[in-house]
Amino acid sequence: MRDLTSRLRSIVRQDHGGSAPAPRRELTYIPDLPGVSDVDAAAAALGGDVQRGSRGGVVAIDYVWDGDHWHGRRQVSSYQLELDAPLALFDRRLAGHDGWARRVVFFDTETTGLSGGAGTVAFLAGCGWFEDDTFRVRQFFLAGPAGERALLEALSRIFDEASLLVTYNGRTFDVPLMETRWAFHRSSAATDELAHFDMLPGARRLWGRPERRTSVSPFSGDEERSCSLSALERSVLGFHRLHDVPGMEIPTRYFHFIRTGNAAAIAGVLEHNRHDLLSLAAVTSHAFWLAREGPEACRDAGEQAGLGRLYEQAGDTARAMRAYELAADGGDRLVRRHALARLAVLLRREARHDDAAAAWQGVLDLSDRRFGLSSIDRRAAEALAIHHEHRARDLRKARQYAEALRTETNGRKREQILHRLGRLERKLTLTNRLEWD
């Protein structure tokens, strides 16, 4: 039995016995939908031009922000990435990538859905880059299904000139989606040889709250800080959108356009995409600036703790410890506890055992025991039990911390705790006998 690949190839070749094969038939199907706007009419309505491809056409819309335009607390020109921006600090895969700053292209798509797969299409692909002091956005809009190949070809021309692609969650969504569409049209992906930096992981380390699973209680009322781009542009950049199109409404607007050809429904989507690109450039620039300036430049303790996580992951222990120390001196209780816990781990690696114990004690001093010990409390108590047994030689304190862990429900952990308590009891008994003698 032939495998599936061979069977598909024979279907595509359309072999008919010994006769010459028929011309290869395209696997793409372009439906003839009533109501779909003519690409020229859509371009006129949206203020764009038509770029023709090998099949169909796509609407190209240009928009330019002047350098002295204010986007949040700073002007657009100030968001250009510096040549010494610490790119590798955020993504080690880009270490040693020379020439990345020659042409940085910020990329974002609007799609017919968020589920991905072959049925999801990017009907709007936005690219942004700096030209001198201005920020230029070029958007490729799909006026109908027949124009997708032209969109992909136009996008390829932009990417061919780029030295670095910057996205927000693009590593898991935008870029794989576009690669699927290139493959669907039997074209090589324009992103194959292009360096790619995704800002979302770094943003989560910088501005995300500590993990909920290590918080004091699931009912403590502390909510994880949002790291969506729209949330960061408000909290980090100080930019607030007015009358923005909600993300969940965007596919509906496009389908309305497909049915009716009414381009007015798309104007808000274009503006949404343009602001996403500018905010992506601004957030990326600000993150690089913070990482270069250090924790003293941070606005609050939460940002300092996030910067510490970034330095720690990059192996910059000295700067990570400094960031955690500053975060532990201020901020809310949750931030201080997590900063102290990370500081304790780094101090122990540096063989500063007494300082590490003091940091772990600080974690417990800030603990809210109403809901029992959290995971970070248990880590602190275990570390202090070990410290006082083996280093400080204070067996009574070691037993006190070990007793606090007796409620551990995990089977293996509970065995270890009971074993530790038994050992401490034996040591204390022997110590008492020696004192009496």
Using an 8 Å Cβ cutoff, are 340 and 309 in contact? no
CATH class of this structure's domain 39-289:
alpha beta
Distances from the Cα of 88 to the Cα of 80, 93, 198, angstroms: 17, 7, 12
| Model confidence band, residue 117 (pLDDT cutoffs 50, 70, 90) | low
Helix, coil or strand: residue 143: coil
pTM of the model: 0.84
Q: What is the dihedral sign for C-alpha 351, 354, 360, 363?
A: negative
Average pLDDT, stretch 103-108? Answer: 98
What pLDDT is stored for residue 126 in this prediction? Answer: 98
> pLDDT grade, residue 201 (50/70/90)?
very high
Structure-model confidence comparison of residues 74 and 224, the more confident one: 74
Please give the sequence-ordered ranges of beta strands (E in DSSP) within 66-115, or none if there are none: 70-71, 74-75, 104-111
Instruction: Give the pLDDT confidence score for residue 187 in this predicted structure.
Output: 92
pLDDT at 98: 86
Confidence at residue 221, expressed as pLDDT on a 0 to 100 scale = 34
Q: Are 420 and 402 in contact (CB under 8 A)?
A: yes
Confidence at 292, pLDDT banded by 50, 70, 90: very high
Q: What is the pLDDT of residues 375-390, one digit of tens each?
A: 899 999 999 999 999 9
In the chain, the amino acid numbered 233 is E
Residue 25 predicted with pLDDT over 90 = no
- Asked whether the beta carbons of 163 and 140 are under 8 A apart, the reply is no
Q: 260-286: per-residue pLDDT in tens?
A: 888 888 999 999 999 999 999 999 999
Per-chain mean pLDDT for the chain: 87
Give CA–CA dist 43/61, Å, rounded.
8
More reliable by pLDDT, 406 or 198: 198
Q: In the predicted model, what is the mean pLDDT of residues 242-270? A: 91
Cα distances (Å, whole numbers) of residue 357 to 52, 307, 348, 396: 68, 23, 8, 16
Distance of CA 334 to the CA centre of its chain: 22
* Per-residue DSSP letter, 123: E
Give the start-to-end residue ranges of the domains of the chain. Answer: 39-289, 375-437
Q: Which tokens belong to 54?
A: 């090998």
- 250: tokens are 């965007």
